[in-house]
């Protein structure tokens, strides 16, 4: 464990990720929380239309979160030591979680079919930990639901499962920047990551505190997707 002291898709397909993290994030506060695996089931009962665009299989590169300074200060004030788990890395103040799979379908937003972005962005085998004394909490195997702009993950306490694919973070895209290209990689940055009420309650209970606030800003996310 390292302590803190940082899809083969075309260019058009990268635009689907923008829609998922920007257009849907703008109304995330009104969305009904749902597990990532149930995005399609949350759609209307009408026959499923043909998507305007699809990414049938996501792979690489990663989702990075530039940690907010106030979040780091809050961890310190709580006596928590943070670390990376599995294949996650910390580089220049950003946590990086490799994208390991998933898929995204984009439907015509002018039609009634909702959510108009559906699918998952998976990050199996990585995460981060919070340690205080002999208590170690690990949050791992993150799954982003672009339809609800929510991030789910597994939680363990001292190696014992405490929750499976629980809603851990809410994503808001009001500050999302325009798509950028770096060689063959499409880069989307600016989505803010906030602790959910579920995660706040779980952490407060585990560490016997009330200092972890619902919707506390964790940082700013960047998704890097390979286009070739």
Of all residues in the chain, the percent with pLDDT exceeding 70 is 78
Report the domain count for the chain: 1
71: pLDDT strictly greater than 70: yes
| 18 within a domain of the structure (yes/no) | no
- Per the CB < 8 A criterion, the answer to whether 203 and 48 are in contact is no
| 31 within a domain of the structure (yes/no) | no
| 25 within a domain of the structure (yes/no) | no
Q: Note down the domain range covering 77.
A: 51-224
Question: Can you give the C-alpha Rg of the chain in angstroms?
Answer: 17
171: pLDDT strictly greater than 80: yes
81: pLDDT strictly greater than 60: yes
- Per the CB < 8 A criterion, the answer to whether 150 and 173 are in contact is no
| 9 within a domain of the structure (yes/no) | no
| 12 within a domain of the structure (yes/no) | no
| 20 within a domain of the structure (yes/no) | no
Angstrom distance (rounded) from CA 206 to CA 108: 43
20-29: average pLDDT: 45
Q: What is the pLDDT of residues 92-143, one digit of tens each?
A: 999 999 999 888 788 888 888 888 888 889 999 999 999 999 999 999 999 9
141-163: average pLDDT: 95
Contacts of 110 (CB under 8 A, 6+ apart): none
| pLDDT tier at 181, thresholds 50, 70, 90 | confident
| 189 within a domain of the structure (yes/no) | yes
pTM: 0.80
| 44 within a domain of the structure (yes/no) | no
The CA-based angle 103-68-35, given to 5 degrees, is: 30
Kindly give the pairing relationship between strand 117-132 and strand 81-86.
antiparallel
184: pLDDT strictly greater than 80: no
């Amino acid at each position: 464990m390292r302590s803190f002291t940082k899809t083969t898709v075309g260019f058009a397909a990268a635009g689907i990720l923008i829609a998922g993290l920007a257009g849907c994030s703008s109304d995330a506060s009104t969305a009904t929380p749902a597990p990532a695996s149930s995005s399609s089931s949350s759609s209307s009962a009408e026959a499923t239309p043909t998507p305007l665009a699809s990414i049938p299989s996501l792979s690489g590169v990663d989702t990075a979160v530039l940690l907010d300074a106030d979040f780091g200060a809050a961890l310190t004030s709580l006596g928590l030591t943070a670390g990376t788990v599995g294949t996650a890395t910390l580089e220049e103040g950003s946590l990086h979680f490799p994208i390991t799979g998933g898929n995204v379908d984009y439907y015509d937003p002018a039609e009634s079919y909702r959510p108009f972005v559906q699918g998952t962005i998976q990050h199996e085998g990585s995460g981060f930990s919070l340690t205080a004394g002999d208590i170690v909490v690990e949050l791992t195997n993150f799954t982003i639901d672009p339809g609800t702009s929510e991030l789910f993950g597994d939680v363990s306490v001292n190696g014992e499962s405490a929750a499976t694919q629980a809603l851990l973070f809410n994503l808001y895209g009001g500050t999302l920047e325009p798509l950028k290209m770096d060689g063959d990689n499409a880069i989307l940055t600016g989505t803010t990551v906030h602790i959910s009420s579920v995660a706040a309650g779980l952490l407060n209970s585990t560490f016997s505190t009330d200092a972890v606030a619902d919707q506390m800003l964790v940082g700013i996310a960047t998704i890097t997707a390979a286009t070739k």
